[in-house]
Structure 1
Amino acid sequence: MDYTGYRNIAIISHVDHGKTTLVDGMLRQTLEPVHGRELKERVMDSDTLEQERGITILAKNTAVEYEGVKINIVDTPGHADFGGEVERVLGMVDGCLLLVDAVDGPMPQTRFVLGKALELGLKPMVVINKIDRPEARPDEAVDLTFDLMADLGASEEQLDFPVIYAVAREGRAFMDPDSPRDDLRELFEAVLREIPAPEVDLDAPFQMLVTSFDYSEYLGRIVVGRIRRGSVSRGESVSLIRKDGSVGRSRVAQTFTHLGLQRTEAQSVGAGDIVALSGLEDAGIGETIADPDAPEALPAISVDEPTVSMVFSPNTSPFAGKEGRYVTSRHLEDRLRREAQTNVSLVVEEITPEEFKVSGRGQLHLSVLLENMRREGYEVQVAGPQVIRREVDGKVQEPVEHLVIDVPSDYASAVIGVLSGRKGQMVQMEPQGDRTRVEFRIPSRALLGFRTQFLSMTGGEGIMSHVFDGYEPWSGDLRTRNNGSLVATERGPAFAYSISKLQERGVFFIEPGTEVYGGMIVGENGRENDLDVNVCKNKKLTNVRSAGADDSLNLTPPRRLSLEDALEYIADDELVEITPKSIRLRKKTLEPGMRAKK
């Protein structure tokens, strides 16, 4: 195929605006007629966590063919915490489909990813999705998107974007909302018409930037990227230009291209296409693979610096080693180093041989890593997330966030009061029917631990999203937690009798029968201070009390903490113990007498 027969596009949007669903539709309408079989739902969200959470975490690429033109499609994460994934892959494409919810309009993560795309000079196409919803406001969504692009410094050419209206879950898209279609034909035609073909030289020396990895049990590491110029064939020798400027030699074992969900082996691959190469085990993200006779490096991938860090260490609790396969500091270091090779926005630093400072783009970014590790069999304990401060001209600065909340109007004033108390500055407030949308500029650390409180305050009906918005001078001390912890004093099973006697003191995180140890956090105290409690004490049996008497006790259901909830809850002197089967909270110092001295 001639290189003018390619189009390379990314689909970018806020979380849950429908981009993965749209890609599914594009695949179905081009692949099912060819293969004669039906594809499964959300086929692009192949990661288990993605399927569970309904979000895209890993950037992925696929391809469809329409009217003889191969359209390479990159499905990118919508959450700013996975911005490293976004920044890696936007350099592979020439245009983007900006998917905007017809009800919500552009949201904070839309701003983040769109800003990256515009900086790279990508040609945007705006797709207004979910226009079938009763509360849809497509014209207003278009106007808000135009204002956002102008605010981000888009060029006149970028501001002259085509608009397509869609109902992605039904596989429909059309240019005129008054003349809807039953397929995505007009979307495909607009991509061919509006997105420029890659400008490349097939006869020039080979050059390609590594943007992501895949892995095969048979082929080992597979590098993925877009060929900028020239071509390469299997078995051919290439130069590997590393980030430090050194140049090595390697050999391409096999060359692959993509179509639909298949990776197809090819004799050679050429400029303009997004391809996969095996045999390059030493290649790293952001490094250049080039013709050995003309080894010229491409610009390295630029990634925004981390804003949040946590300290990881092996599990040292009395229950250490009972549930996991990988429990030593060597196991932990090897796993973190491997992650840092492919996760370009993650930084791993050794503090001591037993402790590692892991920095990322946000709490969700790090919690997804922890969740994957526990599922792989690791035991680890982590300190609470801390924002990364920096010093400029002798003054301390901290990261700040652009926060958008959407709440029922009855709750708006209470939420605004809490955010103002956390040093948030209200930027805009807009009533939307029986709901209110409020925008804040707020220190990143003020949002640590806020999500659970926010959902409680709004009866679970509030929606919040935020994105990193730069650095500002340190805003002073900030108190985000007003309650102490209930801390177990003994090791053993928790009894209903003890919990029933103590539950007026606070809220428990455990239920009767849970194994606890001294120093383990079993609940939240109703007051500011920590309270040591013995939940392992049972009432003595007598001839007038049967063993089943505890069944009649009226116990309040415990508060179940997810991994994210646990990370948000813990104070500076506490840790989260994470194993394949359990998530526990504990004090850093387990002995009560030693804690009192600190």
Structure 2
Amino acid sequence: MLRQSKVFRDNQTVQERIMDSNDLERERGITILSKNTAITYKGTKINIIDTPGHSDFGGEVERVLNMVDGVLLLVDAVEGPMPQTRFVLKKALALGHRVIVVVNKVDRPAARPDYVINMTFELFLELEASDEQCDFQVIYASGLKGQAGLEPDALGNDLEPLFEAVLRCIPEPRVQIDAPLQMLITNLDYDEHKGRIGIGRVNAGTLTKGEVKICKPDEADRVGKVSEIFVFENFAKVPAVKVVAGDICAFAGINDVMIGETVADKANGVPLPSIKVEEPTVKMSFSVNTSPFSGQEGKFVTSRNLRDRLYRELERNLAMKVEDGETAETFIVSGRGTLHITILIENMRREGYEFMVGPPRVIHKVLNGKKLEPYEDAIVEVPEQYVGAAVDLLGKRRGQMLDMQASELGNTILKYRLPTRGLLGIRNSLLSASRGTAILNTVFHGYEEFVGDISTREQGSLVAFETGQTTSYALCSCQERGQLFLDPGVEVYKGQIVGIHQRPGDLSINVCKKKAATNIRSNKEQTVVLDAPQDFSLDDCVEYIEEDELVEVTPVSVRMCKNPRMARRGGR
């Protein structure tokens, strides 16, 4: 759409997934942050907002859906609507937005557009869409070729049918141009020269440079001054003198503006309802690094550095909460899910922070004297020969099967409802049980009654016996005890987790032992054959650890260790 709107020069090099500009988004292939741009088609300006699809980043979706009048629902012509599609679509339908369904990749050999449309219609019915919303326009497209059409076997030479559908089906903004100014802040940006930049849609009136009122329901008003105004054209911010109601814009000059506040007319300003997002379901502890290797690899290592960074995250991340922990050096961070928090951890370590995090724990509620916990719907796609292993694993995690059906691609789709606690650490177990072939998607369902204890890990940890450097000689004998994480020549410290024990319970091992020197000369040293170490990513480490374990995060390394504070209390 951007290319056909002449956003780029004819000879300009354009990278893939240009809207996913964040490094983590490109590496993981997912959208984490909502971003907006605008194109012009036949004299009409069309604002486009790209939202995440994963429910862990639902806070991004909930705050930007207030800025739009309609949505394009992108559906794969082979796979159909994905489980994560349900969350975003449910929010859009609840706001009464019209939906255009775009069936993409219809040129793939295995494309089945009729089946996909039926599945999408059933999803609309499940989400209680209105009769008007269920009568959605369907556009068939091949995004890679830049073609679209009203029939799957009759695509045009460009995306004109899609542009025409947007103009025809998406209503114009319903705003009051002559009313006093009202603009809800839904996003923040930062510029080294201009400072904080507020982004939102002008709901009423006209935004111009000068003094405005900053207000929020049930809070005291204050006055600020807008120094610069920008509108989004093509793929850049363009300076503007004024912005009328209905358009999305950005402004600079008010360095304390926050998401959810209203920029209003100084004399007659009335605040808009603030943005409300769903409550967090998972929490993790962040603390200062206390390992023997602390301070060697990070730039920001103190509790003050950690506190400032976490509370600065709250300015943009509405779905996250930060609270003080048991000690002055500990903070409790709550989010929508484990992925939501691990993205923050990865961003912080890339910025130079060094700290420790504890295992994820679910957030319970008490209602009418009953203890409730969060539940999620899990959709697992697995080859037929591994269905038994997947069912057994989900059953142990207190999962209840909702549905099981065979897909046309030769796999079996399992639908389960289980406590969020049961999902902690399940991804690696599921991949091991299915030889790396299982695909897991989860969607938050709601709070239900607490079901008791759930065993999430059957094996213990291999723990370093002393501080030193690993040797091939020591690792050769230690690998008989389980799966190791390290190569020879790596510095370790006492209490560091260096592998997975093959039995329940932890085992201390000496991975730094050197071969005793003798006065007997040998023409040939004994050949040591080592198994390849298991490579754990940050997400894997967070999923692996239990209550008495921590993950040490630095810009260079990610290590796991036993929690010395738990050991002093008599932990395992």
Going from structure 1 to structure 2, the CA distance change for 1:157 and 1:531 (only over 3 Å counts) comes to same
The one of 63, 66, 74 equivalent to 2:38 is 63
User: In the alignment, which residue of structure 2 is the partner of 1:262?
Assistant: 236
User: In the alignment, which residue of structure 1 is the partner of 2:420?
Assistant: 444
Shift of 1:543: 3.6
User: In the alignment, which residue of structure 1 is the partner of 2:270?
Assistant: 296
Q: Residues of 1 paired with 2:448 and 2:432: CA distance?
A: 30
The one of 378, 403, 417 equivalent to 1:428 is 403
Please tell me whether residue 518 in structure 1 is matched to residue 473 in structure 2: no
SS in 2 for 1:341: coil
Q: Residues of 2 paired with 1:361 and 1:169: CA distance?
A: 33
Shift of 1:553: 0.5
Shift of 1:40: 2.4
Q: Residues of 1 paired with 2:146 and 2:320: CA distance?
A: 36
Instruction: Give the unaligned 5+ runs of structure 2.
Output: none
SS in 1 for 2:432: helix
User: In the alignment, which residue of structure 2 is the partner of 1:17?
Assistant: none
Going from structure 1 to structure 2, the CA distance change for 1:223 and 1:497 (only over 3 Å counts) comes to same
User: In the alignment, which residue of structure 1 is the partner of 2:125?
Assistant: 150
Please tell me whether residue 286 in structure 1 is matched to residue 260 in structure 2: yes
Shift of 1:290: 0.3
User: In the alignment, which residue of structure 1 is the partner of 2:554?
Assistant: 579
Runs (4 or more) in structure 1 with deviation over 6 Å come to none
User: In the alignment, which residue of structure 2 is the partner of 1:457?
Assistant: 433
Please tell me whether residue 218 in structure 1 is matched to residue 183 in structure 2: no
Q: Residues of 1 paired with 2:217 and 2:351: CA distance?
A: 30
The amino acid across from 2:92 in the alignment is A
The one of 230, 251, 255 equivalent to 1:277 is 251
The amino acid across from 1:78 in the alignment is G
The one of 62, 79, 84 equivalent to 1:104 is 79
Q: Residues of 2 paired with 1:297 and 1:596: CA distance?
A: 54
The one of 18, 23, 39 equivalent to 2:14 is 39
Going from structure 1 to structure 2, the CA distance change for 1:468 and 1:547 (only over 3 Å counts) comes to farther
The amino acid across from 2:137 in the alignment is P
The one of 270, 293, 296 equivalent to 1:322 is 296
User: In the alignment, which residue of structure 1 is the partner of 2:484?
Assistant: 508
Q: Residues of 1 paired with 2:104 and 2:333: CA distance?
A: 37
Q: C-alpha offsets along residues 67-109 of structure 1, whole Å, 9 cap, x if unaligned?
A: 0000000000011111100111001000000111122212221
The one of 350, 353, 359 equivalent to 1:375 is 350
Q: Residues of 2 paired with 1:595 and 1:534: CA distance?
A: 24
SS in 2 for 1:169: coil
Going from structure 1 to structure 2, the CA distance change for 1:64 and 1:241 (only over 3 Å counts) comes to same
Q: Residues of 2 paired with 1:385 and 1:582: CA distance?
A: 20
The one of 342, 349, 361 equivalent to 1:386 is 361
The amino acid across from 1:317 in the alignment is S
The amino acid across from 2:484 in the alignment is F
The amino acid across from 1:321 in the alignment is G
SS in 2 for 1:429: strand
Question: Structure 1 stretch 271-280 or stretch 164-173: which is displaced more?
Answer: 164-173
Contact preservation (8 Å) 1:305, 1:345: yes
Shift of 1:167: 1.3
Q: Residues of 2 paired with 1:547 and 1:501: CA distance?
A: 23
Q: C-alpha offsets along residues 437-469 of structure 1, whole Å, 9 cap, x if unaligned?
A: 111111111111011111122222211110101
Instruction: Give the unaligned 5+ runs of structure 1.
Output: 1-25
Q: Residues of 2 paired with 1:37 and 1:124: CA distance?
A: 33
User: In the alignment, which residue of structure 1 is the partner of 2:533?
Assistant: 558
Question: Structure 1 stretch 406-415 or stretch 356-365: which is displaced more?
Answer: 406-415
SS in 2 for 1:336: helix
When normalised by structure 2's length, the TM-score is: 0.97
Q: C-alpha offsets along residues 268-292 of structure 1, whole Å, 9 cap, x if unaligned?
A: 1111001001111111111111001
Q: Residues of 2 paired with 1:380 and 1:469: CA distance?
A: 32
Q: Residues of 1 paired with 2:71 and 2:239: CA distance?
A: 27
Going from structure 1 to structure 2, the CA distance change for 1:160 and 1:496 (only over 3 Å counts) comes to same
Shift of 1:425: 0.8
Question: Structure 1 stretch 27-36 or stretch 490-499: which is displaced more?
Answer: 27-36
The amino acid across from 1:294 in the alignment is N
**Identical positions, percent:** 51
Contact preservation (8 Å) 1:202, 1:231: yes
When normalised by structure 1's length, the TM-score is: 0.93
Please tell me whether residue 529 in structure 1 is matched to residue 505 in structure 2: yes
Q: Residues of 2 paired with 1:135 and 1:439: CA distance?
A: 24
Shift of 1:34: 6.2
Contact preservation (8 Å) 1:520, 1:590: no
Shift of 1:183: 1.3
Shift of 1:487: 0.6
User: In the alignment, which residue of structure 2 is the partner of 1:349?
Assistant: 323
Shift of 1:178: 2.6
Q: C-alpha offsets along residues 261-318 of structure 1, whole Å, 9 cap, x if unaligned?
A: 1100001111100100111111111111100111211111110100100000010100
Q: Residues of 1 paired with 2:271 and 2:520: CA distance?
A: 84
Contact preservation (8 Å) 1:518, 1:590: no
SS in 1 for 2:140: strand
Going from structure 1 to structure 2, the CA distance change for 1:226 and 1:530 (only over 3 Å counts) comes to same
The RMSD of aligned alpha carbons is 1.6
Shift of 1:35: 6.4
User: In the alignment, which residue of structure 2 is the partner of 1:12?
Assistant: none
The one of 199, 203, 207 equivalent to 2:174 is 199
Q: Residues of 2 paired with 1:595 and 1:505: CA distance?
A: 27
Q: Residues of 1 paired with 2:516 and 2:143: CA distance?
A: 64
Question: Structure 1 stretch 28-37 or stretch 155-164: which is displaced more?
Answer: 28-37
Question: Structure 1 stretch 166-175 or stretch 261-270: which is displaced more?
Answer: 166-175
The amino acid across from 1:320 in the alignment is S
Q: C-alpha offsets along residues 409-454 of structure 1, whole Å, 9 cap, x if unaligned?
A: 1111210111012111111111124211111111111111011111
Q: Residues of 1 paired with 2:417 and 2:147: CA distance?
A: 37
Please tell me whether residue 139 in structure 1 is matched to residue 127 in structure 2: no
The one of 202, 216, 222 equivalent to 1:227 is 202
Q: C-alpha offsets along residues 472-523 of structure 1, whole Å, 9 cap, x if unaligned?
A: 1011110010000011111110111111111111111111111111111111
Q: Residues of 2 paired with 1:243 and 1:506: CA distance?
A: 58
Q: C-alpha offsets along residues 509-565 of structure 1, whole Å, 9 cap, x if unaligned?
A: 111111111111111101101001111111112244679946x20111110100000
User: In the alignment, which residue of structure 2 is the partner of 1:5?
Assistant: none
The amino acid across from 2:80 in the alignment is G
Q: Residues of 1 paired with 2:24 and 2:311: CA distance?
A: 21
Q: Residues of 2 paired with 1:277 and 1:516: CA distance?
A: 50
Contact preservation (8 Å) 1:28, 1:38: no
